[in-house]
Chain A
């Protein structure tokens, strides 16, 4: 991959970003571009902070630095001595003041362009109001929180199509899960630069065939100079040998692995030394695949949203439908238009690039025409789908991604049992795997369940009323036992719901692992370790950015971190 290709991935900056700002954000603009930056700057994130609240604040730090538009911290806590020891964004003078106000003030120092707001109302009052959450683009809630209130937040977020994160951070362990809207499509997924681009070698268009013919004319008959032969671009070599292969094989291209290796032999026989032949041979297996779109892309093309467009369908679905029309007609996606680096003389390489670019432009124009056709009967009120958007979509068509957001799987209000439903099967499959962190997930669920069933009725308002496991030395043992009991019960529910049976020693082993996690969580007494909070804040902020800028594929949907083993695991719940 050449240097040039790397930069092509980066979305072009827009003209109206002021220079100083652009310079400040230069290193991140190289990743998500000006469009991503603008999305970030137009976003307002709400943090519902509870417990020690360090992870939430560390998350915001990583969002304030790159230039989030607005953030609000909802927190009723008063700054204590313990807060000062673990939260970097508090100072001695903060003692006794509202933690929300103090953390907002100190976070704002990081970036004068970001606006911060502090809310000291209890969350249960806030989320009783109609559409109280509507002005936010994303919500982060930190445990501990009464599961009944959490459920209310998540239901509201779901109704408003607002992504909602929920996080735990205790001692060496943390987890976060995200509830995305039911359809969350991403066009700019930034695929791995080493992923193969569609070059259409199996179905070349006339201009490409003509160019290949020109460049390979006479090399096998010996009428071409050794220099020229050594500089035939490998694309042309493959096209040349494919033509010959088709003549000998009833017009068919090599498909099966054996055929491909046999085909590779014929290419190899053309020259045993030259680099361009090496390149051609190396490309046989990965470049001669039928242009079947990956399952992620097929999921988009066949989605109900694509099939039936509505007057309020977003641009994404209209373009997706147009691409689907294109795919139905040609059996392939629009050409991305990029050409990999290769041994060739400069002029040939430039011509080849132009051949691909021209074709890519034609494909994109065809899709755009279909988009215009589709738009007409819909009676849309907003602006027409932009040409640029269609181009972008066509360029990345093979890598578009659709996340089907799912409701958060959390503990329920007191008295309601946790059910696993359609998640049971996938989770149960993890149980026998001794390296899986599924046990940690169950321990966190149990920890929340403990809160649901133990908060003191005398003081229902706010986080302070919640009873956290292990907060007092004397209760430690009893609490650990209770927590482990809840977690083990959850395990049995899970196994029953999945309709499976876990044999010993696996069953005993998973119970022991869960008990160990529970003991650890209890011993933390609700306390956060700054270093783990900082790490989790990094992970969480990274996902928040992906969601806000709608680039890169976000975690789907629960991420667990074990700080003892220093590793993460993602579960789809």
Chain B
């Protein structure tokens, strides 16, 4: 053993150190948390087994399984990343995060195996087979869609996932394993805040209403794709139907004005339309203003006297826009508005086919939204804000600091140790426990008897570093929600030669014959393609109709029969053009045996990693017995238990671990 590893081996114990070195892990995201996770993985020796060590190992391990850290990130580096994403420097701005992260991290330890990929995790090449190659996956993402996607891929590939996230001083780490714990989608995620359309378009009362108006209505109408229903704004029952109809006409009129783009009077025409004409129309609706202050009409011309003729208003706006911490006066907002309209018009005319999108880091779009929102705030007697403040509200900026990322990433890797330790026991048999030098085994052996032991004693970990009492707290992992649409189905694979002429009928027949389906439906990415009353698609070819795509597709088979077996999710993939499988169609289900329990039994019938719930003893043989026993628990009890825990989950409940340490030898 190299002297470098001594410290790690001393603390982790030899068996776990070996496992860590042999591991192949995937890190999705090389941003705030990702940089930190990568550093900790590299410094803990993950995937560091020499690849061509002695020839023996290299020959046995295929490329898809060799010890390595694979990093996937599609983003490039931005200046605002540098306050925390410490693998990046100023000279790296605009380069790919994954590649630079590898380059910097490799300097620390040149012998480390990192495979950096500047790709989108949604890409077809990152299919179920790709995920199956890993011992562990780390999510270090910043958006819900990608988190949910990786969650699903890990469920399909049956690979443990460590999910993490931070917001300001807070962070959270959660281990996920199919059939053992809750998945990312077991708990509904809060919906995006949306405002009633009339509040945004007719009766704003807060700065945010004016910002949403500028960002989600005015901006796309002028420079982007007109969106009838943006996610920020919805027609709700409190909205007045007649008013909604009038608002539609108003938006149409704006489209006409869009035709003036590029002409010198464009900014003035827009201004007078939205701050004069539309406001005058609103003022005319007397019943609306019985209990409210009437909005004030603004007119472009009224500012003319205050403007020096010799000075270009666009130039003036450009200079003002640099002072984004100041609260601009009305005339200053008008100047910024003019210059932003000018800049955005030029960009739109330069490439007519590409609609612009609001981006908080795109200064022109931010200038436009900030000035338009402020002008509207003035009209309605709402306090104005600086562009800096508007940026936060418009861009949904989440504060991010180095410390929270460092903490959350370290907590992720700590959970990784536990999961790997758990996995090694599972593989090697529990008797090994007694000769282990790894202190943390106490966690495994001394469970408190009340809660189950999962994934090597892994916990849900919460970080609240602004707290002065409980900065890091834990909660036991919770078994899967039995009705979770994402993790309750059985996942299997459907393979098809890429030149196959198989039709939907072939698949239906296969499912009927192999799995005994009678009344059922099939859902593809495009929607429901088959059910007992929908037979129109049967003759269509699976590939030409787009039901099966290269790589990343899923088909969901729902049993509509009385027995109600759990859903079956088939991940689809192409095989080389051979037809050794079903000679007719080439369709092949994997694995050979797929057992589909009835909907209520699915949870109790989890795989060999079922949890022990009996009292802990220090007795390894008893633990072994529990561990090995496939527990068949009463399904109902399981459901009740899950519900109870789910309830406790509502307020961050802290279930602390037994502080004792049980040391062997």
Contact = CB atoms under 8 A, between A and B. Distances in A.
B414 A535 contact: yes
A82 B208 contact: no
A347 B381 CA distance: 8
B83 A564 contact: no
Nearest to B403: A542
B442 interface: yes
Which of A62, A92, A435, A559 is packed against the most chain B CB atoms within 10 Å? A62
A565 B656 contact: yes
A392 B233 CA distance: 35
Nearest to B212: A3
A67 interface: yes
B241 to A, nearest CB: 16
Interface string A17-35: 1011011111110110000
A346 B204 CA distance: 7
B266 interface: no
A58 B406 contact: yes
B659 interface: yes
A30 B399 contact: yes
A567 B475 CA distance: 10
A436 B208 contact: no
- Max chain B CB contacts within 10 Å: which of A111, A542, A565, A570? A565
Nearest to B111: A92
A566 B291 contact: no
25 contacts: A7-B392, A19-B322, A27-B83, A84-B4, A85-B4, A88-B39, A344-B205, A349-B205, A434-B660, A520-B663, A524-B11, A527-B10, A538-B403, A541-B402, A542-B465, A556-B468, A562-B659, A564-B443, A565-B443, A566-B461, A566-B474, A567-B656, A568-B470, A568-B471, A568-B472
Contacts of B79: 20, 23-24
Interface string B334-352: 0000000000000000000
Nearest to A93: B107
Interface stretch (A235-243, A260-268, A510-518): A510-518
A537 B292 CA distance: 54
A535 B411 contact: yes
A553 interface: yes
A200 to B, nearest CB: 22
A4 to B, nearest CB: 5
Contacts of B656: 435, 565, 567
A181 interface: no
Nearest to B78: A23
A190 B656 CA distance: 28
A456 interface: no
Which 5 residue pairs across A and B have the least CB separation, nearest first? A346-B205, A85-B4, A535-B410, A538-B406, A516-B661
Nearest to B90: A112
Contacts of A19: 322, 324
Given A434-B658, A435-B658, A570-B468, A538 B407 contact: yes
Given A30-B399, A61-B402, A513-B659, 18 more contacts: A4-B207, A4-B393, A15-B325, A15-B326, A27-B399, A85-B4, A85-B7, A190-B466, A435-B657, A520-B663, A531-B40, A531-B417, A538-B410, A541-B402, A565-B658, A566-B415, A566-B459, A568-B471
Contact of A65 (B2, B402, B459): B402
A88 B403 contact: no
Interface string B67-87: 000000000000110111010
B473 interface: yes
A12 interface: yes
A546 B401 CA distance: 13
A190 B169 CA distance: 12
Given A86-B8, A350-B381, A565-B656, A523 B439 contact: yes
Interface in A188-235: 190, 228, 231
B203 interface: yes
B324 to A, nearest CB: 8
Contacts of B472: 539, 561, 566-568
A4 B401 CA distance: 22
Interface in A1-60: 2-4, 7, 10, 12-15, 17, 19-20, 22-28, 30-31, 52, 58
A348 interface: yes
A527 B6 contact: yes
A293 interface: no
Interface string B367-400: 0000000000000111001101100110001111
B393 A347 contact: no
A26 B397 CA distance: 9
A72 B10 CA distance: 31
A527 B4 contact: no
B154 to A, nearest CB: 21
A171 interface: yes
A350 B399 contact: no
Contacts of B380: 346
B440 interface: yes
B86 to A, nearest CB: 5
B8 A85 contact: yes
Interface residues of B, number: 95
Interface in B428-470: 439-440, 442-443, 459, 461, 465-466, 468-470
Interface in B5-63: 5-8, 10-12, 36, 39-40, 42-44
A528 interface: yes
B39 A28 contact: no
A565 B472 CA distance: 10
A86 B7 contact: yes
A319 interface: no
Contact of B414 (A87, A539, A566): A566
Interface in B200-220: 203-208
B327 to A, nearest CB: 9
B473 A567 contact: yes
Interface string B648-665: 000000001111111100
Contacts of A504: none
Nearest to B84: A65
B640 to A, nearest CB: 27
Nearest to A16: B325
Contacts of A405: none
A122 interface: no
B83 A82 contact: no
A66 B401 contact: yes
A142 to B, nearest CB: 16
B404 interface: yes
B110 interface: yes
A565 B474 contact: yes
A499 B414 CA distance: 40
A67 B402 CA distance: 11
A519 interface: yes
B402 A531 contact: no
Contacts of B440: 172, 564
B61 to A, nearest CB: 24
A110 B193 CA distance: 37
B293 interface: yes
A447 interface: no
Contacts of B203: 345-346
Contacts of B388: 13
A110 B92 CA distance: 12
B89 interface: yes
A9 B410 CA distance: 30
B413 interface: yes
B257 to A, nearest CB: 27
A566 B80 CA distance: 31
Contacts of B36: 534
A431 interface: no
Nearest to A553: B468
Nearest to B209: A346
Nearest to B324: A19
Nearest to A34: B325
A91 B108 contact: yes
A436 B385 CA distance: 48
Nearest to B415: A566
A86 B10 CA distance: 12
